[in-house]
Structure 1
Amino acid sequence: MRSIVPSAAILRQHYPLVSALRAQGFAIGGSADAKPRSGELYLVAEGETPPAPARTVVLGTDARCIVPSRDGNPARVSFEATDAAVGAGFVRALLAEPEMPTAADPESLALFALAERVAAADITVLINGPTGTGKEVLARSIHLNSARATGPFVAINCAALPETMLEALLFGHQKGAFTGASSGGEGFFRAANGGTLLLDEIAEMPLQLQAKLLRALQEREVVPIGATQPQAIDVRVIACANRDLQDEVAAGRFRADLYYRLSVFPLTTKPLAERAQDIPALAATLILRHAGNRQTIPWPDRSAIDLLMRHDWPGNVRELENVVQRALLFAGGDTISAEHIVFDRPTALQASAANDQASPATLGNIVQMHEFQAIRETLAACNGSRIETAKRLGISERTLRYRLAKAREQGDDIVAAGNRSVWA
């Protein structure tokens, strides 16, 4: 767990932010004294072990902006009270390790607090929830907060592995055990020895293999294909499913005894639409993750956040990540507004607007329209400089040339925003 050391000024003026960070899993240390300056608003995040680097975030009092740490300088964040949710999300993302889960909704915070307690007990965990709701993030958080944190974390998707090879991949095999086995394989259970094995999409495991998995969980040993002697394992198993395993048991597709062996402590992740307060924090985290080396990190304004929080998110966090990446492309300046938000499936309001037009807009048309608009605005801001435009948009010059040529073919007057030399 990372701890934060807030300056005295932070404690006086931004205690709600410190409280929010505490709720998200940061331990609060004593007030720091001197650096960078005694009266400056800053927080220092320190790792639990010495190798973890310390990170400093300075809170400014100017207009909203975010400057990541570069060249040894601390990161800087400025925001007003109306942007507190997004601002706290940016601060958390700058202070946290990449593996730390992002949460701000009370139910999500309660889930991660419970998971932290579960992590201390070396028991099997079953995580249920729709696809894209962060089940693997939760599983990794349990691993990192457990006594097995220094051991391996091995995640496999049972639905993605060939059924004919799943047994050998899980439990290992000896040389010559089957055709093509020119050498032995230790299997995922032995690869995760001393650590945690995540079995994602466990409901997709064939029935005949479920019995062997049950024995491995009960006896703490595996028998590789072709072997006659079992081999002991020391592995914590976390299973994930996007379907209700009790329903699968009732339908005869999942063994009841395996279900009860896995469900020692069940946890459930909720759809993103049911934890709307997570959205500003997640959006801030994803913006930082995908902004790359952009000189200016765009800030999502109130109109963008309101639109994101009204969406029903059928694709959950994965869909939000797609939307954020599009918004970063469309927003050429320092602000992401509602006009830069494009969903995979239009909202009711967007669908109504599309029905009023002669021809309904497809996702491809919407994306292309916003793309050309972003390039036009950025070209104007850069006085037609193609090099500077590509840098601000976070794309290569070659990609910019291709998109400019595509705009010209379709008759878009994109060049009017800048110097005509950009077509050269």
Structure 2
Amino acid sequence: MPVPHEPRRIRFGVNYTPSQGWFHHWLDFDPDAVRADLDALAALGLDHVRVFPLWPLFQPNRTLIRPRAVEHLVQLADAAAERGLDVAVDGLQGHLSSFDFLPAWTQTWHRRNLFTDPKVLAGQEEYLRTLAAALADRPHFLGMTLGNEVNQFADAPHPDPDRITGAQAAAWLTRMLAACERGAPGRAHLHAAYDAAWYQDGHPFTPAHAARLGALTAVHSWVFNGTAQRHGPTGVATEQHAAYLIELSKAWALDPHRPVWLQEVGAPAPHVPEDRAARFTTATVANALDCPDVWGVTWWCAYDVSRSLADFPELEYGLGLLTEDRVVKPVGRALAEAVARWRESPHRPSVRSTALVVDAGDVEEAPHRSVCAPGGPVFEAWARLAAQGARPTLVLSQLATDARHLTARGITDVYTPEEVAPR
């Protein structure tokens, strides 16, 4: 029998993109505007927000962390708490919506590797520790995420990557997580990668890093990665992409019940057309909640990006639950209804007893992890099983015959991708 465990409370939240000025709002922080934003988000029935200080604004010099900027972050967190919203904070911003925000002391004339240079590491450590410490006495503070998809700085397709090895990535993650713990002991500190960690051969941030380091595993699900292009906006693989990433993470997890946070997911047009965004939202949330051990779902994002701001990719402008005028959109109503349904009638998902084998090579490096990517044999076989109603999970090839591991996870049936290939 599987190891028994208690069901967890499911958390529902949103990545807070301010309605006025996007993340540039930190330049002229307006507490009243923030409070109005948070009022509208709380009205949707959400229970937390993920917030994004801009690293260059908070730490413009390696030895200067601006007290006033930190004070603004605490003000935002306190305003959220007044509205019943817990707060998760990302530190090293890092990369947001196609724009990089790196301090001048890491660039051009001061160019230093973000992951290995001793002076940069010391500056990052102190910055993360400082932010965590500023919120450590707030009971509504959930914890730190090291940064938003910081792994994109380490490899292609970034135009100017800071190349590192997998071992160097692990050392950086371990050191930065420890800095967060020093600042706010006992909180849920974690790291978050975009899906290259799961899908891109040779990427230095690996599935093992994602599933084993930090308090919980974060997955970011975006179907413009080839999923929607291949399967369409209403395809099973598209509507279950988030569920697939949640289950894929379990293949590498050492704890069979490690919590998984669907930390980013959104309905990107035109891959998900505007008139189908509400359906996509409803289906994505329902499918994610059908995965055991989900910590929570945090939608991207709160408010649409204003058309007055230039040079964003087109899909970034319309991802909000609300317009920039704080009008709830169909996708916002769909999420609010999904939250209400869950709270009215929560359920504990049954064990996923059918597993698909993942052979990505060495467990730590996963040199062939592209088999898991859209179009790859593991991804496509999983989608076929899901379409048949099998509720599949995934297991590493190295563990596919390990009776103790399979029993701990409740797995009774194991298939290779070849065994579920189309005839």
Q: TM-score, normalised by structure 2?
A: 0.26
- Bigger RCO (CA 8 Å, 6+ sep): 2
Q: Which has the larger radius of gyration?
A: 1
TM-score (ref. length: structure 1)? 0.26
